[in-house]
Amino acid sequence: MRALITLSLAVAVCAAVGLTPMTSQAADAVVLPKTAKLLTKAEVIAIYGGKTTEWSHPNSDKATGTAVFDATVSSASGEFQNGKDKGEWESKITWKGDQYCWQARPKGTGKFGKLVCNLIYQDAKTIYEVDPKSKKVVSVDLLQ
């Protein structure tokens, strides 16, 4: 299993295709392990460049999907599913320091959605995308 594009992407993709994510946190919310290491831009590119991931949003909309990254981690595409709703998405990726930033849209459509920036942490083989303001896990990703 793999994943890097996280909750943010799924939320943006879901919003772009007209889905509204749930915002309440479950009692068993996924939290960032204390042993997780904050990754730099260079480390994220080394880990994800040219790779495929599986992602999930356990703390919000429960969406799941895949992401395929280009070699330089400047774009990604994949599939998502949120309940009965599913589809393909694509995104462009930029960086704000070590924050991983992306804008997504349904594949082959017009304008990209809102820019979302998150921090990327790794704990063993699991990757966590974390909102830099709230410090909450927005996506859990596994490399395939």
Q: Please, which contacts does 66-71 make with residues 24 or more away whose CB atoms are closer than 8 Å?
A: 66/2, 66/3, 66/144, 67/2, 67/3, 67/4, 67/5, 67/9, 67/141, 69/4, 69/93
pLDDT of residue 13: 44
Whole-number pLDDT of residue 132 = 96
* pLDDT tens, N- to C-terminus, the chain (144 residues): 333 333 344 444 444 433 333 334 444 689 999 999 999 999 999 999 999 999 999 999 889 999 999 989 999 999 999 999 999 999 999 999 999 999 999 998 989 999 999 999 999 989 999 999 999 999 999 998
CA 21 from chain centre, in angstroms, equals 14
> What pLDDT, on a 0 to 100 scale, did the predictor assign at position 144?
87
pLDDT at res. 95: 96
